[in-house]
Chain A
Amino acid sequence: MNEYDIAVIGGGPAGLAAAIEAKKHGGTVLLIDREKELGGILQQCVHNGFGLHIFREELTGTEYAERFIKEFKELGIEYKLDTMALNITEEKVISMVNKTEGFVNIKARAAILAMGCRERTRGAINIPGTRPSGIFTAGTAQRFVNKEGYMVGRNVVILGSGDIGMIMARRLTLEGARIKVVAEALPYPGGLIRNVVQCLEDYGIPLLLNHTIVDIKGKDRIEGVTVAELDENRKPIKGTEQFYECDTLLLSVGLIPENELSKEADVELDPITGGPVVNESMETTVKGVFACGNAVHVHDLVDYVTEESRIAGRNAARFVNGETGGYGPAIRTKPGNGIRYIVPHFIRKDKVEQSVDLFMRVNKIFTNKKLVVKFGDTVIKIIKKSYMRPGEMERICITAESLKTAEDLSLTVDVE
């Protein structure tokens, strides 16, 4: 059985950044990915908006990927493509399979889970009606359109105003399709405002907030959907039903971290994010198993994925080098009023060098509020926010200094 210092599972933006960082800190690194090329989901993202923070440029997904792939290859990091990781044990024995080597096990001293996320399906939100062809998750449609060059439909309805749904609304329109409506169950758009403008408003595509699909019609191929308005309890209001004829339905109704491998490794999962519980070093509850990127929590900006993944890579390397000393008291981060979740879940004071970034999402729209960070009852930071929405992740930087003063072992963030 081959052995490596660090095994990285997933070769998208998270895996690439983690592997690069790990390699720079020395040691043998192996990266595996199930696709035929590196870059992960970025390779089907022909749109721009990537890299504003990391590179101060607005790159397309493919351009962003290429920067990392170049550095990755220059560092000579070993990798396997068209390879599926099937299992990982607590001892970090990873089983994988591909055509050339067959079914193999490798042993790693540290592992980094960077599998990304999966799309929520029609079944998961139980849309009633028939089950014809022509229903796609937005990401699958994006793959067909951008990588393979096939059109998925001509008259399209989109459910969900998440970023992928909006991006595909524009993409399909540019390729000659007609988007009849985008229905969103929440009272606000799911993705970035920039996308509402540049993907929907730009093309005159109506966005119906507080609406969802209550029926699907069509025997062989989808023929139409019934859209209804929702009340405050998110229940369809009788009498508001409207039928939209269409030949295609795109679903952009949420992303879920890929956690099959995480479950195999027996790491503790956060039921809110769907991904592993991690500490300030992006280490899971299993020593030496790290996680980063969408596999931990779904991000809006790939730049944050890169930052987070570098932390994972750096710390995986440190773990392997034995620099794990000092598992001092860990502060538990607690989402308070208005906060849906916070990552990381634990902060070990003595492992924080200069600062630690807390990533979080609010659970509804807030205007003119403050994000208040407390240790117990002691306020350590207040940030005024004129506007916060669930579709845009918030970031709060906590200095090591302020952590040192913390008496309490619980850090809460509240919207006040």
Chain B
Amino acid sequence: MYDIAVIGAGITGCSIARELSRYNVRILLIEKNSDVADGTTKANSAIVHAGYDAKPGTLKARFNVPGALMYEKLCSELDVPYKKTGSLVLAFSPEEMKTIQKLYDQGIANGVPDMEIIGKDKVQEIDGNLSDEVVGALYARNAGIVSPWELAIALAENAVENGVELFLDSEVTKIEKMNGLYRLHMGDRLAEARFVINCAGLYSDKVNEMVAAPSFKILPRRGQYNLFDKSLGNFVNTVIFQCPSDFGKGVLIAPTVHGNILIGPDAEDIEDKEAIQTTPEGISYIWEASARSAKGLKPNAVITAFAGIRARSSTDDFVIGESKEAKGFINVAGIESPGLTAAPAIAVHAADIVKGLMGGLEENLGFNPVRRKVVRFMELSQADKNLLIKQDPRYGRIICRCESITEGEIVDAIHRKAGARSLDGVKKRVRPGSGRCQGSFCGPRVMEILARELDIDIKDVVKNSPKSYILTGETKDNSLYEDVHDLAAASGKV
């Protein structure tokens, strides 16, 4: 029996679970996939927005600025990569200068600090590779970049360390409203909680409809991206936006915290919430559109492409609050941009809602906001590197050539709370597979380590979901030969 069940371990759910772990309440964090941060949280622009973009008066505006201001401390406590790069919204015409003026005004109304409208020369000073056709820009110093999945994972780890229970591979399929509590069905598993917080992202409408009549619909909107090799890492130093249009914030060019360059996203309204494939049209569009901001990116420097689906609400804003029909059921839905930025502030607000509903919350005196530091081997001094290797020789074996990640770091990522259990789990936490070889060198080695550390057969190591097997069996398997067609017939006879 739990006090609170949080459905969905994306950035929203993890933020709320961690925030609530400050108090003496029994919390269950439920995730349908095999790892936290497996949905849109791992496939977005990774931007901490300054906050001029949201319409004043909306929940998006209300939570963007305070959320952004919490990032520095949060990422320091949780040891998550974050950089305040600043952002530029480029204007290419007098018309667009008017647009960015509007954004500036909106920013003032939203309480965004440290913004100014700058001219072409200052723009070129800030980022020299930008197009000559830039006329001016809105410069917001408070914008930044973060690793969204690492943040969600760190929040989950910290939450679990502070007493939160995490269920993975547990899709909530039915919720029974009982007297003063909710009974959640997750396949064969059941759990009961007094309060439920719905952070189910793309499926938050479906989860809401398990307890109430539809009050909002999630309208999936896909965005595609291309990620570039680190050798282009200095192509831009700030987050480069284009003027917003009806479809969204425009296509951006941004550095990532890991030293890559990202372009995207486009904005495509789709039906299928599972349609995370990239398309030729989408990729083509982001190339064309981003070239307007800066030329010089070459196709042969792309290391990967991906798509994320925004959980856009039919209400065009965040949906945050207790359900009118279902007492004790709190929706935190429609968390599309600036959802990542707003997450820390939304979490505080959600805790306030719970406080209100529970008539107060007792502090958890054992709460530790700090996550044990992640060893980043290559960032250590030579002396520290050697000390570490003496203590644990596994730090002396480089597994990931592209990012220089050691076996020790991978082993640690597996054994932490909410740790890695799959190839992608390792990739999200410590990077092997994210680099230019995209796992072709490190893959077999990481699988070996996973098998050893999780005490499973290497053939049972998966990429992410339970069905994403990698190896199909052993060689020397004579049972396979019935399928192979006759050689004699195959070769050359006419």
Interface residues in chain A, defined as those with a beta carbon under 8 Å from any beta carbon in chain B: 34, 82, 84, 86, 97-103, 105, 118-119, 121-124, 126, 128-134, 136-137, 139-140, 143-145, 148-154, 173, 175-178, 201-204, 214-217, 219-221, 236, 247-248, 260, 263
Contacts and interface: CB of A to CB of B under 8 A. Distances in A.
A221 B468 contact: yes
B472 A151 contact: yes
Contacts of B468: 132-133, 220-221
Interface of B: 226-227, 231, 274, 276-280, 282-283, 299-300, 302-306, 378, 382, 385-386, 389-390, 393-394, 396-398, 401-402, 404, 406, 423, 436-441, 443-444, 458-459, 462-481, 483-485, 487, 489-492
B168 to A, nearest CB: 15
A137 B483 CA distance: 24
B396 A130 contact: no
Contacts of A204: 485, 487, 489-491
Given A133-B469, A151-B472, A121 B283 contact: no
Given A177-B480, A220-B467, A128 B475 contact: no
B277 A118 contact: no
B471 A98 contact: no
14 contacts: A97-B385, A97-B398, A98-B397, A100-B393, A118-B436, A121-B437, A122-B304, A126-B226, A133-B423, A133-B463, A150-B473, A176-B484, A178-B483, A203-B491
A203 B490 contact: yes
A248 B443 CA distance: 16
A202 B475 CA distance: 21
Given A123-B438, A204-B489, A102 B398 contact: no
A202 B458 CA distance: 33
Contacts of B439: 140
A149 B475 contact: yes
A175 B305 CA distance: 33
B283 A103 contact: no
A134 B396 contact: no
Between B279, B393, B436, the greatest number of chain A beta carbons within 10 A of the residue's beta carbon is seen for: B436
A201 B492 contact: yes
B398 A123 contact: no
A143 B300 contact: no
Given A129-B278, A154-B480, A99 B474 contact: no
Given A128-B305, A203-B487, 10 more contacts: A84-B401, A99-B393, A126-B226, A126-B305, A128-B282, A176-B479, A178-B484, A201-B492, A220-B466, A247-B472
Contacts of B475: 145, 149-151, 175
A177 to B, nearest CB: 7
Contact of B469 (A121, A216, A221): A221
B477 A173 contact: no
B484 A202 contact: no
A139 B443 CA distance: 12
Nearest to A143: B444
B437 A100 contact: no
B471 A126 contact: no
A217 B277 CA distance: 8
Most chain-B Cβ atoms within 10 A of its Cβ — which of A99, A149, A173? A99
B437 A119 contact: yes
Contact of A140 (B394, B444, B492): B444
Contacts of B231: 263
Contacts of A236: 280
B440 A140 contact: yes
Contacts of A84: 397-398, 401, 404
Contacts of A144: 444, 471
Given A100-B396, A140-B444, A201 B277 contact: no
A131 B382 CA distance: 38
B280 A137 contact: no
B487 A202 contact: yes
A342 to B, nearest CB: 21
B225 to A, nearest CB: 11
Contacts of A248: 472
B490 to A, nearest CB: 3
B440 to A, nearest CB: 4
A263 B300 CA distance: 17
A128 B390 CA distance: 45
Among A84, A136, A214, max chain B CB count under 10 A is at A84
Given A133-B469, A152-B472, A221-B469, A123 B487 contact: no
B303 A121 contact: yes
Contact of A149 (B404, B440, B476, B492): B476
A234 B211 CA distance: 54
A201 to B, nearest CB: 6
B397 A175 contact: no
B476 to A, nearest CB: 7
Contacts of A130: 276-277
A271 to B, nearest CB: 10
A173 B491 CA distance: 14
B389 A202 contact: no
Nearest to B461: A133
A34 B437 CA distance: 16
B441 A124 contact: no
Given A133-B463, A175-B475, A204-B489, A99 B394 contact: yes
B444 A148 contact: yes
Given A99-B394, A176-B481, A118 B302 contact: no
Nearest to B390: A102
Contacts of B385: 97, 102-103
A124 B231 CA distance: 14
Contacts of A220: 463-468
Contacts of B491: 201-204
A25 to B, nearest CB: 31
Given A82-B397, A123-B438, A221-B467, A131 B306 contact: yes
A247 B279 CA distance: 21
A122 B438 contact: yes
A286 B321 CA distance: 65
A299 to B, nearest CB: 19
A263 B404 CA distance: 16
Nearest to A98: B396
A217 to B, nearest CB: 8
Contacts of A102: 385-386, 389-390, 396
A89 to B, nearest CB: 14
Nearest to B485: A204
Nearest to A140: B440
B440 A97 contact: no
A144 B469 CA distance: 14
A48 B462 CA distance: 33
Contacts of B440: 118-119, 121, 136-137, 139-140
A175 B477 CA distance: 7
B472 A176 contact: no
A384 to B, nearest CB: 31
Contacts of B471: 144, 150-152
A123 B433 CA distance: 11
Contact of B302 (A119, A126, A148, A178): A126
Contacts of B300: 124
A232 to B, nearest CB: 18
A214 B277 CA distance: 12
Contacts of B404: 84, 86
A134 B464 CA distance: 12
Nearest to A173: B484
Contacts of B485: 178, 204
